[in-house]
Amino acid sequence: MRVVVWNVANKARAFDALASLRPDIALLNEAAPPPTETGIWRDETVGRDAKRRKWSAAVLTPHPFAEITDAQPQWRTSKRNVPFECSRPGSWVAAEVDVAAGETVTAVALYGLLDELSDSSVHRSLSEISPVLDDRRYRRLVLIGGDLNTGTQWPAGDYFGPRDGNVLARFEALGLVDCLVAMRPAGRLEGCLCTHGDDCTHTRTRLDPRRPHVAYQTDYLWASRLLAKRLRSCTALATDEWFAISDHAPILAEFDV
């Protein structure tokens, strides 16, 4: 199974480039309605600031799929009867995808919408999507990916460093594995600003035109532990070719599914 995570920056030509990667599942951000692909998306994203953005998170796939609308928080036999819905439509979408006989993957495209500070935004969305990690129908093989507008490359003592680190730690607390970290070689990322030294685990996923020499990461792919055991490769296509289409690099992952 081939998975792509990409902020396509509302570029129509990104869909042709995406097709060249032949994904079984594509988790997209800032995506206008695709021309021919099938999947789940919204015509726009509406934040808590009431601003209407003409793009959406999207899950695209050539395989049979269905939107998830009924995931429930559950602990042992106790279920919480709360709606599974996005409070900021378009900031995340969730689908179950039948990628092979007897193999259904829960796929969530998540965007760190900056209608509020990024840590608050992602925490809000994590609270809303966490039922897929509780519900026995959906929690076995899970993918969550997107541009979170969140990272841990702040200078020492910066106000946002602990806050953004707390967001990423919450994914791990939910039982998810960072696929880029799992597959990257050890050592410091060239051009990274983090203070972690040789313990750096960053992968470049973004080109800031104001600071092109800095290797920023704001994009991630997370997998449930069972699915992470089937991970065979995961890399970011941080090349001039891809950065000519979007200021974000696609993350490309392969799983034995």
The answer to whether 180 and 236 are in contact (CB under 8 A) is: yes
What is the reported pLDDT for 102?
Answer: 85
Distance CA 130, CA 257 (A): 23
pLDDT in tens, 102-156: 899 999 999 999 999 999 999 999 999 999 999 999 999 999 999 999 999 998 8
Distance CA 224, CA 162 (A): 24
Which whole number is the average pLDDT over 227-245? Answer: 98
What is the reported pLDDT for 232?
Answer: 98
pLDDT in tens, 13-42: 999 999 999 999 999 999 998 887 799 999
Q: How far apart are the first and last CA of the chain?
A: 5
- Residue 225 has a CB neighbour count (10 Å cut-off) of 10
Q: Which fold has domain 2-255?
A: Deoxyribonuclease I; Chain A (3.60.10)
Question: Where does the chain have alpha helices with state H?
Answer: 14-21, 118-129, 160-173, 179-183, 225-228, 240-243
